[in-house]
Amino acid sequence: MRDSIPKFARYFFPALSFCIISCGATLPLQEITTAKQEVTRAKLFNAEKYAKSEFDESRTNLLSVHENVSGQSPDLKKVAQLAQTSTEKAKSAVNKSLPKYVKDLQKEVESSLESANAALAESLAADIYEQASLLKAEGDEIVKNADAKLAKNDPAGNEIAYDEYEKGIKRYKESILVSEKAKDLSLAQTQAVIDSTSDIETNLDLIEKYSNKDKTVLAKISNLREEYKSSTAMMETGSLRDGFKKAEKIRSDSNELMTTVILPYAKERIKLATTKIEDADKLLKSSENSSKSSVAADNLTASKEAFTSSVDLLGKERFYDSIQQSDESIRLAEESLKADEAKDSDLSTKKRSSDNAIDKAREEADAKDSLPVKKKNKTEKAEKNSQLPESTIHWKKHIVKKRIPPETLWRIAADRKYLGNKNLWKEIYKANQKKISNPDLIYPNQVILIPTKTAKAKSKSKK
């Protein structure tokens, strides 16, 4: 603000005060003050540029006032006359400058709003940006009315027009301040905007994974990566709007490429899952062993759940997630198909174990009989203390239910009717590893076995 005041004014009023005292306060103080105010006002509206001759004349007269009052015998009549002339010339400079100053200020307001919009202020600081736009619109309306009055060239109307120009200028300056605030607020969110485009890199990685090293596809991926780096650099340097717009185009192109590359593979996995489920269904219907059927049915139910999820995800164009669910559906269906082999293998193993146990028991009995009586009694007592009767191990069956939030191993473990401690979820996982390949994925209607707190306590007491 200091620079907007003519240099002579810095020394003018101290000298004027001295002169007032020495002259008995007879100077035309009001006229001099008014002249100084009008010169300052003319400078504020850039009269040095738009009305140079009038402004220079006004300032020259004010300087003459200074020279007169600084003398030993100032001509008070001449001082008053010079002050009035300075005031008139300053007002003339203001009136001549206002229409031109307003036009330049309009451009400055538009530039300020555009700069804020380039920083995505219209989205990231919507309320503040809208306020800046409304202030500009109000200023435009006021200036439009002032232009219309000035065009009529009516002295009375001209005075009103000049007042309205100043009101319009006030709105424009407020708009500039608010739009700068909106811009700063938007730029403060630059990293969040960049992070919102990170899925592009993930998509490109997936496309590359399923590209089968196709050179054409790999070349497209490489180009899209370079374009994405460019868009990120634009956003980092403040061009959020253009950088984000470019990122959106890259996302669209990568989605199109993903559809070309991954969609066929995702459909193939769904097709294979369908076949596996059908085969498992047939096996289950032909099965006569209830124990085997129960295990197969649980796996098949879980397989169908994963299959339904896979189809749903494919419809949402979440191809990678769809493939993951299809793979899980295929795995579970294959577990059902292996039920017969697993059952036969279990029976054979149990028979061999039983036979081996009988042979071992006979050998141990013979060995005991050959021991002295005292040593034989000690051996029998030690064996008795180390045995854990199978009847002390208790398991509970749990059927996974559809819930919100969904059931998880740690939620089941935390249930007081089971383990009562979420950190013991690994105990459940270890007991059901044949059914659960991923501890983070369990499905509704899946049957799992849970070791109870009683079983764990008894097991520890026997060790």
Structure confidence by residue, pLDDT tens digits, 161-174: 999 999 999 999 99
Per-residue confidence (pLDDT) for residue 176, from 0 to 100? 97
Of 224, 211, 218, 214, residue with least CA distance to 254: 224
Band of pLDDT at residue 457, cut at 50, 70 and 90: very low
Across 244-309, where does the E strand assignment appear?
none
The 10 Å Cβ neighbour count of residue 407 is: 19
DSSP string, 337-397: HTHHHHHHHHHHHHHHHHHHHHHHHHHHHHHHHTS-HHHHHHHHHHHHHH---GGG--EEE
Residue 165 CA: distances (Å) to CA of 101, 105, 115, 170, 180: 9, 11, 25, 9, 23
Band of pLDDT at residue 453, cut at 50, 70 and 90: low
Q: How far apart are CA 393 and CA 456, in angstroms?
A: 8
The pLDDT of 284-292, averaged and rounded, is 65
Q: How far apart are CA 165 and CA 176, in angstroms?
A: 17
Per-residue confidence (pLDDT) for residue 317, from 0 to 100? 84
Beta bridge partners of 447: 399
Calculate ∠ Cα 175-179-184, nearest 5°: 150
Q: How far apart are CA 412 and CA 409, in angstroms?
A: 5
Structure confidence by residue, pLDDT tens digits, 435-450: 787 777 777 778 888 8
Q: How far apart are CA 115 and CA 182, in angstroms?
A: 10
Contact 243/231 with Cβ under 8 angstroms?
yes
Contact 61/83 with Cβ under 8 angstroms?
yes
Structure confidence by residue, pLDDT tens digits, 112-152: 999 999 999 999 999 999 999 999 999 999 999 999 999 99
- φ/ψ region of 67 (left if φ > 0, alpha if ψ in -120 to 50, else beta) reads alpha
Backbone angles phi, psi at 450, to 5 degrees: -125, 125
Band of pLDDT at residue 251, cut at 50, 70 and 90: very high
Band of pLDDT at residue 46, cut at 50, 70 and 90: very high
Of 216 and 460, more confident:
216
Q: How far apart are CA 286 and CA 278, in angstroms?
A: 13
Average pLDDT, the chain: 82
Contact 176/109 with Cβ under 8 angstroms?
yes
Backbone angles phi, psi at 399, to 5 degrees: -100, 120
Of 120, 121, 122, 128, residue with least CA distance to 243: 120
Contact 441/328 with Cβ under 8 angstroms?
yes
Of 210 and 129, more confident:
129
pTM of the model: 0.59
The 10 Å Cβ neighbour count of residue 122 is: 17
- Measured in whole angstroms, the distance separating CA 96 from the mean position of its chain's CA atoms is 51
Per-residue confidence (pLDDT) for residue 405, from 0 to 100? 66
* Cα torsion through 216, 222, 225, 231, rounded to 10: -90
Altogether, the residues listed in the chain come to a count of 463
The H helix count followed by the E strand count for the chain is: 19, 2
| Burial per residue of 432-452, b for 16 or more beta-carbon CB atoms within 10 angstroms, e otherwise | beebbeebebbbeebbbebbb
Distant-in-sequence, close-in-space partners of 429: CB < 8 Å, separation ≥ 6 = 409, 436, 439
Is the pLDDT at 293 greater than 90? The verdict is: no
Of 423, 415, 376, residue with least CA distance to 398: 415
Helix (H) / strand (E) element for 165: namely: helix 155-187
* Residue % of the chain over a pLDDT of 90: 50
Helix (H, G, I), strand (E, B) or coil at 227: helix
Highest average pLDDT, of 147-151, 179-183, 265-269, comes from 179-183
Q: Is the peptide bond before 405 cis (omega within 30 degrees of 0)?
A: yes
Contact 62/87 with Cβ under 8 angstroms?
no
Structure confidence by residue, pLDDT tens digits, 78-103: 999 999 999 999 999 999 999 999 99
